[in-house]
Chain A
Amino acid sequence: TQLLEQSPQFLSIQEGENLTVYCNSSSVFSSLQWYRQEPGEGPVLLVTVVTGGEVKKLKRLTFQFGDARKDSSLHITAAQPGDTGLYLCAGGDFGNEKLTFGTGTRLTIIP
């Protein structure tokens, strides 16, 4: 069974600070997605990374896929209250149509 562990589980920081959350596994994934879920809503896809070492930027968010495609990180620069939410990583594997979702990081940005 593939598992994706996210850390930290909870993170609360002041507006304007930088932060990094992690998504780790002992398994190799063919692709990795990051989702953000706001209270009362469904997860919304932020990005997909597919190549080991790949880095993608989405405004103040930087996503990186590990060289071995077993882990990923999400870095947020100058966090804003609108970044508050549950961040979920999810891994896809060749030949498996199902996504494996991570345990989630609940982020709170304090104004």
Chain B
Amino acid sequence: DAGVIQSPRHEVTEMGQEVTLRCKPISGHDYLFWYRQTMMRGLELLIYFNNNVPIDDSGMPEDRFSAKMPNASFSTLKIQPSEPRDSAVYFCASSYSGQIYEQYFGPGTRLTVT
């Protein structure tokens, strides 16, 4: 299995631009989680899906952030418009309902907003 795949690995953009991060979970996993990691705040859960349905988006910082999961093999996290304070590493993780807490993380997308 290829593991969780994220793209791009690095993204540099200017303030005000739209950013889209992509994730392909492990096949057969029915949970997908989006996290953000910074030195100051550590690893924060933004939103998670079960069977492609968003369950809890209470961690999404504000309306500029949105996430979708159109099918079991693909999810996006969009930031529009981006701001410098959004600079962080964004991780996607997946798990299956039998072992929901054993999450498998992707390599992350390092986002820099200038």
Q: How far is the CA of A97 from the CA of B48 in the complex (A)?
A: 9
Partner of B50, one of A42, A48, A97, A101: A97
B48 pairs with A98, CB closer than 8 A: yes
Residues of chain A in range 37-68 having any CB-CB distance to chain B below 8 Å: 40-45, 48
B43 engages A101 (CB within 8 Å): yes
Chain B residues proximal to chain A, CB less than 8 Å: 4, 31, 42-43, 45, 48, 50, 55-56, 91, 93, 99-108
A90 cross-chain contacts in B, Cβ below 8 A: 101
A31: Cβ under 8 A from any B Cβ:
yes
Chain A interface residue count, Cβ-Cβ cutoff 8 angstroms: 19
Which partner residue on chain B sits nearest A97 by CB separation? Answer: B100
State which of B91, B99, B101 has its C-beta within 8 Å of the C-beta of A42: B91
Given A92-B100, A97-B50, do A44 and B45 touch, yes or no (CB 8 Å)? no
Q: Is the CB of B101 within 8 A of A33?
A: yes
B93 contacts A33, C-beta separation under 8 Å: no
Q: Report whether over half of chain A's contact residues are helix, strand or loop; otherwise say mixed.
A: strand
Residue from B43, B101, B106 in contact with A88 in the complex, judged by beta carbons closer than 8 Å: B43
Determine the distance from Cα of A40 to Cα of B109 in the docked complex, in whole angstroms.
9
A99 near B106 (CB under 8 angstroms)?
no
A42, B106: Cβ atoms closer than 8 Å: yes
Residue picked from B56, B99, B100, most chain A C-beta under 10 Å: B100
* Chain A residues, CB < 8 A from B43: 43, 88, 101, 104
Tell me if A97 and B31 are in contact (CB < 8 A): yes
Residue of A nearest to B41 (CB): A103
Residues of B within 8 A of A35 (CB): 105
If A41-B108, A42-B108 touch, whether A99 touches B103 (CB-CB below 8 Å) is: yes
Tell me the complex Cα distance, A73–B31, Å: 28
Contacts of B104 in A (CB 8 A): 45
Are B108 and A99 neighbours in the complex by a CB distance under 8 Å? no
A97-B50, A98-B45, A98-B48 are contacts. A43–B105 as well, Cβ < 8 Å?
Answer: yes
B101 touches A48 (CB 8 A): yes
